[in-house]
Structure 1
């Protein structure tokens, strides 16, 4: 089972895109939404049934964390005990520490404010990344980059932005693992159409699938 958060710390369309990725035939998770207005609530019993918990994109970090702060110890314990946390954009920020769930071997920060970033707008756009040595274009909306501690030797960096900062990674946390992406490899064709954007590489799920496969293989 995969749980996808859907509630006030997300925006319409973001949980649904993550759910569609996890239900992709290459992954084939049994996907359920979890949240304050969903049938399943974010509780220890609910998380105990899940192989993966996904935190989708959404709005502003501090506001989202205020809504999820009480669940932070619960999410930490779930991952520490062997669960898998998957975060996209806001979900990547929330995996960090300032503020966040403190799951990363380091922290997350705003990519558009990083040195020599090729994207300087907070509007929806695309970003170039190097994913496992290959150039790709991904949907992007003010996502994070990830700062690794010096002793983060077990972190698997999957992708970097053009300025060399980390765009996607997987790392162990306790007996579980965390996988995060600053851009949106889960973005659907509808996202691009609504914003009038194009992707020269095509709109494919392969990078999102790679992130999830790597996360599930990571041993804490």
Structure 2
């Protein structure tokens, strides 16, 4: 695996007083290690999604490492990694799924089934659907909303506060009534009250689906990302803490 560790960033003030909850294992090096998928370093959009998630997690004390296609099996080891992150990107979800190897797919499913955590952001949320990784029960909401293909600043409710988050062709997660199974909704879009972030069980593990990009930074090169530069990092970090906390009740 080729590893790249982004330079440290000073965490936003909204993160400074947070306390990390209990986790799968008390050992620091286990509960604070994330494996982030990075398909192509030469693709600026792909690398920005992955590496800026890494920066966001590092600001909250996580160690991060990266892997590509065909590298997941040897790196996604439950005794060493607690969190697997499937970020957004500019590839069609079906095309990405076809590029993953059989061992990649089996390793992700087995990791989560045995107690690991999966964070799917935008494209990574699409990938959990029944025709791909099948980490969610069969249901209809995992398709994008028509007319949301352009970058947008979306207004969401998170922790009873109205916030802005960067979105670009986000998955439509529907309402709680649309989604079968036991789950917890952490954030909704203010416009139509549909789900923006949810956490649900998958056997012994948990899966988080996130429509927006809390990791967005000004280096993404558009006016919307510049507005929210690192401002939503606390949304991402707080969500990950709840995802990885065994005491967080669904």
Tell me, yes or no, if the aligned pair for 1:171 and 1:218 is still in contact at 8 Å: no
Residues 66-105 of structure 1 mapped to structure 2, 5 A cutoff: 66-68=98-100, 70=102, 71-97=104-130, 99-105=131-137
Q: Which runs of 5+ in 1 are unaligned?
A: 114-119
Q: Deviations over 1:164-198 (max 9, x none)?
A: 2211111111111111211101112322xx11225
Moved over 6 A (4+): none
**Bigger fraction of residues in strand:** 1
Q: Deviations over 1:41-71 (max 9, x none)?
A: 2115643321111001012111111112622
TM-score, normalised relative to structure 2: 0.73
**Structure 1 residue 88: deviation in Å?**
0.6
**Structure 1 residue 14: deviation in Å?**
1.0
Instruction: Tell me what 1:216 maps to.
Output: 244
The structure having more radius of gyration, on CA atoms, is 2
Residues 5-44 of structure 1 mapped to structure 2, 5 A cutoff: 5-8=37-40, 11-24=46-59, 26=60, 28-36=61-69, 41-43=71-73
RMSD: 2.5
Q: Which runs of 5+ in 2 are unaligned?
A: 1-32
**Structure 1 residue 142: deviation in Å?**
0.2
| Number of aligned residue pairs | 205
TM-score, normalised relative to structure 1: 0.82
Q: Deviations over 1:65-123 (max 9, x none)?
A: 111262222211110101110111100111222x321112455523423xxxxxx2312
Instruction: Tell me what 1:117 maps to.
Output: none
Tell me, yes or no, if the aligned pair for 2:165 and 2:228 is still in contact at 8 Å: no
Instruction: Tell me what 1:145 maps to.
Output: 172
